[in-house]
């Protein structure tokens, strides 16, 4: 979705959206539209359309966390995991179960709802 489309969404009543890849730090809120993106996609779309390897998915998670810590990515943007639940096969469900189990055991992990993630953005208008 282009930035022009995103900018027009606020005029049509949208308050938030999600795209894939880290948001630009200077574009946290485009007008009245908050951007809370995803960074981890567990599916190998250009191949067998099943689960990527554990290592690749872990690399996606670590890349976003590391980028946030180093200031390459917006440090306030939560790390988002895509779910294409309607096309998941057994391998994808197993991979996600393994990832979520590991994440749930980590003391620093907090799961956010979309409104919870939006609450991290300070410059959203009140109207």
pLDDT tens digits, residue range 62-112? 999 999 999 999 888 999 999 898 999 999 999 999 999 999 999 999 999
Do 57 and 91 form a contact (C-beta atoms < 8 A)? no
Judged against a pLDDT cut of 90, whether residue 115 lies above it is answered with no
Judged against a pLDDT cut of 70, whether residue 31 lies above it is answered with no
pTM for the predicted model, two decimal places: 0.85
* Adjacent-strand bridge partners of 34: 16, 29
In a domain, 32, yes or no: yes
**Rg of the chain over all Cα atoms, to the nearest angstrom:** 16
Judged against a pLDDT cut of 60, whether residue 127 lies above it is answered with no
pLDDT over 90, % of the chain: 57
Q: Is 40 helix (H, G, I), strand (E, B) or coil?
A: strand
Do 93 and 83 form a contact (C-beta atoms < 8 A)? no
Q: DSSP state, 48?
A: T
Q: Is 16 helix (H, G, I), strand (E, B) or coil?
A: strand
Q: Is 34 helix (H, G, I), strand (E, B) or coil?
A: strand
Do 68 and 50 form a contact (C-beta atoms < 8 A)? no
User: What is the model's pLDDT at position 126?
Assistant: 59
Do 61 and 78 form a contact (C-beta atoms < 8 A)? no
Domain coverage including residue 8: 3-118
User: What is the model's pLDDT at position 47?
Assistant: 94
How many domains does one find in the chain?
A: 1
In a domain, 123, yes or no: no
User: What is the model's pLDDT at position 123?
Assistant: 65
User: What is the model's pLDDT at position 38?
Assistant: 95
User: What is the model's pLDDT at position 125?
Assistant: 57
Task: Give the chain's mean pLDDT.
Answer: 88
Over residues 25-31, the mean pLDDT reads 61
């Amino acid at each position: 979705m282009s930035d022009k489309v995103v900018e027009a969404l606020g005029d049509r009543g949208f308050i938030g959206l999600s795209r894939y890849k880290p948001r630009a730090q200077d574009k946290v809120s485009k007008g009245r539209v908050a951007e809370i993106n995803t960074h981890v996609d567990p599916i190998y779309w250009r191949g067998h359309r099943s689960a990527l390897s554990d290592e690749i998915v872990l690399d996606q998670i670590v890349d976003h966390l590391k980028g946030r810590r180093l200031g390459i990515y917006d440090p306030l943007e939560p790390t988002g995991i895509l779910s294409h639940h309607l096309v998941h096969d057994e391998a994808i469900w197993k991979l996600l179960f393994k990832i979520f189990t590991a994440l749930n055991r980590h003391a620093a992990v907090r799961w956010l709802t979309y409104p919870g993630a939006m609450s991290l953005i300070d410059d959203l208008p009140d109207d």
